[in-house]
Amino acid sequence: MSTTQPTGRNRPNALTLSLTPSFSSVLKSRRNENRFNGFPSPEQKPLKRLFAPATKHTRLKPGANERLLPTLRPLATRIAGLVAALLLLANSLCAQQPTTNNVRFVAVDVFVDSKGKPLAAYQLEFSVTNGNAKIVGIEGGEHPAFREPPHYDPKAIQKERVIIAAFSTEPGAKLPSGKTRVATIHLQVRDGIEPQFLLSPHVAADVGGNKLAINASFERRETQ
């Protein structure tokens, strides 16, 4: 039987002897320890102590967002700069485009006077002398014999110069024998220098194919 030396309750160096040598004394502790690692357990559960990232979950491996941020930020900056450059280029191109207020359309009526003889065929040359207008279309004349548009080279229109020609197989009684409008040439004109036109007759013929002496003229009129 073991004996203990009487001690006071508040004596600092008091010894405690066990009456059961096979067991060690277990002191009651108010500390709440983790039963897995023996460390003090916090208020929350161990799993809840894990750090919650501020970024949204992208289903990538842990750390992928952090590794991509240094790459994505310069890329986003370059994309923003490219968009700004494209917007500036678009505004510059729009500013260079001519407005519709600076463009108008002009019609030039072409006349042939066969001096009282039936006109069966003609060939004329029309040109813009100062290059301030562009030919955009050609239509036929007023007489039934030349109502259809005359023949011309479409490539010549791009050079502000065109040769027009037409003929009719109608008898002399159904052909024009005086001054008649044989064609109308439509042009697109820019504001500024007024365009100048030149009309030159090449050849004309009657029903029998004989050459005719003609006068060629034109009249300009504004259109919408």
Furthest-apart CA atoms within the chain: distance in Å: 163
- pLDDT confidence of residue 139: 94
Q: Is 204 helix (H, G, I), strand (E, B) or coil?
A: strand
Per-residue pLDDT tens over the stretch 6-60: 544 444 444 455 555 554 555 454 555 555 555 555 554 554 444 455 545 555 5
Query: In one letter, which amino acid is 16?
Result: T
Nearest-5° angle of CA 214, CA 219, CA 223? 145
Domain boundaries, the chain: 64-95, 102-223
Nearest-5° angle of CA 104, CA 108, CA 109? 145
Q: Which residue has the higher pLDDT, 35 or 153?
A: 153
Which of 171, 168, 173 is CA-nearest to residue 204? 168
Nearest-5° angle of CA 109, CA 164, CA 210? 105
Question: Rounded to whole angstroms, how far apart are CA atoms 88 and 99?
Answer: 19
Question: Rounded to whole angstroms, how far apart are CA atoms 127 and 121?
Answer: 20
CATH of 102-223, one of 3.50.50.60, 2.30.30.180, 2.60.40.680, 2.40.110.10: 2.60.40.680
